[in-house]
Chains A and B, each alone.
Chain A
Amino acid sequence: MNKTKTLALTVGFFFVLAFLAACSAVQQGADILAGTGKISESDRKAIVRTSEAVRSSFADITEEEEYYIGRGVAALILSRYPVYDNQALTDYVNTVGKAVVYSSSRPEIYAGYHFLVLDTEEVNALSAPGGFIFISKGLLRRCRNEEMLAAVLAHEVGHVCARHGLQSIKKSRLIDAFSLIGQEAAKRYGPQQLAQLTTIFEGTLGDIVDTLILRGYDRKFEYEADELSVKFTAATGYTPQGLVDFLRTMVGDSSAVSGKGWFKTHPTSEQRIERVKTQAAALGGSLVEEPARTKRFHQTLAGLK
């Protein structure tokens, strides 16, 4: 009996020792990616080998990569639309946006969420990965209160939270990128690899911009963003009816026949209303819009030219 106990304890002891040895080996592996040792940036030296599988899908895109992809997509959106540069309106839209972001499923993102108004009468709202969100003047004019604006912004925040933009990158392109990135140890790329990676980056931006501006997302993503919008706005304290009300104003809108912007890339409002109504009803909450919110909405938008 005593012998068995001793044996068990000894085995246990060696198990712990082996575990510790392994831990230290893991720490030693930290330099592997460092390669030339040029990773410098403070704590980034502390690389450890991880148990995660090698990268294979959009879900493996890092926060920082998402940010750089988003910057590129945002720059391309802004090369098609001018900016409506009105400080008071920009601040207001960003404050409503931020309030909604607080109650979203992903409030913290690499460089935060930012909102900009586009100087076009086309009805449109777009979001690039990494939290770059755009809303057109034409769409703002069709919102009657803060609840509707919050709902539209929350729909875009929903696309960002669920990483819908990144899911429009062609799978083969991602695999090329991951394999190229994985081969090189140094942080800075050599000329040949940089050229290859830049081509893949161009293609990546193209995949996303085509989806956002020309093709539109798969319907299931639009419905998911609607669902998230209802959820986020209700959690913020807005009436969950905001999106239903906005979609209703869009039914039979004169600009719908233009088939541009929002109308080109989204399912029809009629198709969306029924789903959203059910989701809003399920959440309950107040159906009354707060007068203080509607008042500040009208005050801010009064200056819209």
Chain B
Amino acid sequence: MKRPIRSTLVVSLFVLVLCLLAAETLIVKVQSTSLRKNPKFYAPALLTLGAGEKIEKISSQEGWIQVRTSKGAVGWIHSSAVQVQKFDLMAMDAKMKTQASASEVALAGKGFNKQVEESYRAKHGEVSFVWVDKMLLIKIPDSRVEEFMRQGKLGEFRGAR
């Protein structure tokens, strides 16, 4: 009689631990970001992550989080690029809620989105978005920023000769 209870307990605890670990799931909230080899912006990028992708937290240090992707890649991501996925056990009855929370809206791509902008632009032909789109194309590679900082003795290159 004693043994089955003990194994039940072990299994239950194991499952509980798994559930708690699942709570450490993070969701990428920016359009795209790099999974980096080391915890700094100009560290080599291993791959690109997009909005809504789920990743698993392994550890963290000074604003950076070490994560594992669903395909098993491990690297670093800045904490400002992700949000914690939360479960709500009390919100099981969908009918109780008539309004969406911020993360639901984010995941569904709702709210002020492309469709709303298109509608605004159709109404305001005089407002040009040409330079807004050009502005978004300005990309300074991280490697260039690193060189710029090295030359200007900024960041980790402070006091360097």
- Interface size, chain A (Cβ < 8 Å): 94
Q: Are B99 and A63 in contact (CB under 8 A)?
A: no
CB-CB < 8 A to B48: which residues of A? none
Residues of B contacting A107 with CB < 8 Å?
Answer: 41, 78, 80
Set of chain B residues within 8 Å of A9, measured between Cβ atoms: 5, 8-9
- CA–CA, A52 to B99, complex, Å? 11
Docked complex: A37-67 residues within 8 A CB-CB of B: 39, 41-44, 46-55, 60-65, 67
Question: Which residue of A32, A52, A79, A290 is within 8 Å of B126 (Cβ)?
Answer: A79
The closest CB in chain B to the CB of A49 belongs to B91
Contact present for A102 and B98 (CB under 8 Å)? no
Whether A63 lies near B106 (C-beta < 8 A) is yes
Shortest C-beta distance, B39 to chain A (Å), equals 12
Seed contacts A42-B50, A64-B113; 8 additional CB < 8 Å A-B pairs: A23-B89, A54-B101, A64-B112, A69-B112, A98-B140, A106-B80, A109-B30, A202-B124
A residues sitting closer than 8 Å to B (CB atoms) are: 5-6, 9, 12-13, 16, 19-20, 22-23, 25-26, 29, 32-34, 39, 41-44, 46-55, 60-65, 67-69, 71-72, 74-76, 78-79, 83, 90-91, 94-96, 98-99, 102-103, 105-111, 114-116, 132, 146, 177-179, 181-184, 187-189, 194-195, 197-198, 201-202, 204, 236-238, 286, 290, 292-293, 296
Query: Is there contact, CB below 8 Å, between A63 and B116?
Result: no
Q: List 27 A-B contacts (CB under 8 A).
A: A9-B5, A9-B8, A16-B12, A19-B89, A23-B89, A33-B100, A34-B108, A43-B52, A49-B87, A50-B87, A53-B101, A64-B106, A64-B113, A67-B31, A68-B114, A90-B138, A105-B80, A107-B78, A107-B80, A109-B80, A116-B138, A183-B99, A187-B113, A189-B116, A198-B116, A201-B120, A237-B155
A48–B85 touching, CB < 8 Å: yes
Interchain CB contact under 8 A, B80 and A83: no
Q: Verify A65–B155 contact, CB threshold 8 A.
A: no
B binding-site residues for A, Cβ under 8 Å? 5, 8-9, 12, 15-16, 19, 22, 29-31, 33, 41, 50-54, 78, 80-81, 85-92, 94, 97-117, 119-120, 123-124, 126-129, 131-132, 135-136, 138, 140, 144-145, 148-149, 151-155, 157-158
Q: Are A102 and B145 interface neighbours, CB within 8 A?
A: yes
Report the separation of the CA atoms of residues A71 and B132 in the bound assembly, to the nearest whole angstrom: 7
